[in-house]
Amino acid sequence: MLVAEWKRRSWMRKLQYALQNIQLLQRSQIIIAIKMKLTRKLVLARAKASDLDSVKKLNCWGCNLTDISIFTEVPNIEVLTLSANQISSLEPIAQCRSLTELYLRRNSIQSLGELRHLQGLSQLRVLWLAENPCCGPDPSKYRLTVLRTLPRLHKLDNQVVTEEELAQALEEGEEISLAPPAGSVSANGLSEAETDSDGLMYSMEETNKIREQLGMKPLPRDKFPSFSSPRDSRPALGRRGHVLEAVLLLLKELNSEELQEVQKAAESRERALHRHSCQAERKDLLQQ
């Protein structure tokens, strides 16, 4: 009888312990299902700061965050760790102009198009984006696309970016364009503004896109003298022509350090084109 009673009590204790574990698991699943918003109070507590303007570094690893809109109010942050969360949009981070390092591993970023929100961060040098849905099945294609979109990066996913890799990215990486401006769409698929002055709008968009990547303010319409004449009085420019005009306009406003960066990028691009041309020539010779 004593042995049987001891076994019964032992079994009851085990059952009670198992039920407690089940309850804890259910509670944790409920917590995980709740969308977590990063608040001002949490930012200040983690950064040990008195106000949002003084926050320079912040680590929110594994906080199950989904809403990071607070970063529109944290302009001076330099190092930001948001890995292991549920973040899907990078739009709020576009306001963090002083950001140099951004860690986003293991989140819910579905599209590399989100990187367009980072193009205006001229100080960004380190990005960790691995283990997101946007990385896709082809790591090489993913890496080249990221580097073409953010050519200032020195390190991507904990791997140093080489000049050769950057040159290849500028040539082979997929282009991520900015979202099209709002406006009505005509029957041919173009907005009314595009059908009236497509060359002007395209050049303005290209110029201001590059200016945004450099952390500069966009130029107004009256700063484009080459488009001041009527549309039919100037030669039609293709996409490359508009890009060239945009770059030439920008060169007038860059300082010495920024011009050196442009020169390095141009030299890397020229070497890549030269290698491509040599490879094509060798291929033609072998086929003859």
Q: Is residue 111 part of a domain?
A: yes
Domain encompassing residue 242: 194-287
What pLDDT score was predicted for residue 181? 39
Integer angstrom CA distances of residue 169 from 18, 22, 34, 219:
55, 50, 39, 28
Q: Is residue 44 part of a domain?
A: yes
Contact 145, 246 (CB under 8 A): no
129 and 202 together in one domain: no
Q: Is residue 58 part of a domain?
A: yes
63 and 93 together in one domain: yes
Q: Is residue 251 part of a domain?
A: yes
Q: DSSP string of 190-212?
A: -BHHHHHHHHHHHHHHHHHHHHH
151 and 206 together in one domain: no
222 and 262 together in one domain: yes
Taken as a whole, the chain contains a residue count of 288
* Domains held by the chain: number: 2
48 and 161 together in one domain: yes
120 and 223 together in one domain: no
201 and 165 together in one domain: no
- Longest CA–CA span in the chain (Å) reads 108
Tokens of 160: 């140093």
Write the Ramachandran bin of 55: left for phi over 0, alpha for psi from -120 to 50, otherwise beta.
beta
What pLDDT score was predicted for residue 276? 73
CATH of the domain at 51: 3.80.10.10
What pLDDT score was predicted for residue 213? 61
Q: Is residue 188 part of a domain?
A: no
107 and 220 together in one domain: no
Integer angstrom CA distances of residue 88 from 85, 91, 205, 258:
9, 9, 26, 32
147 and 203 together in one domain: no
Residue ranges for the chain with pLDDT beneath 50:
28-33, 179-202, 225-237
Q: Is residue 151 part of a domain?
A: yes
Chain segment 34-59, per-residue pLDDT in tens:
569 999 999 999 999 999 999 999 99
Among 172, 205, 222, the domain-final residue is 172
Q: Is residue 18 part of a domain?
A: no
Neighbours of 127 (CB within 10 A): 25
What pLDDT score was predicted for residue 154? 96
CA angle 283, 169, 236 (to 5 degrees): 85
250 and 131 together in one domain: no
d(CA 102, CA 254): 26
139 and 228 together in one domain: no
What pLDDT score was predicted for residue 109? 97
Contact 58, 81 (CB under 8 A): yes
Instruction: Using DSSP, state whether 255 is helix, strand or coil.
Output: coil
What pLDDT score was predicted for residue 74? 96
Contact 125, 100 (CB under 8 A): yes
Q: Is residue 141 part of a domain?
A: yes
162 and 75 together in one domain: yes
Token pair 């890995």 is found at 83
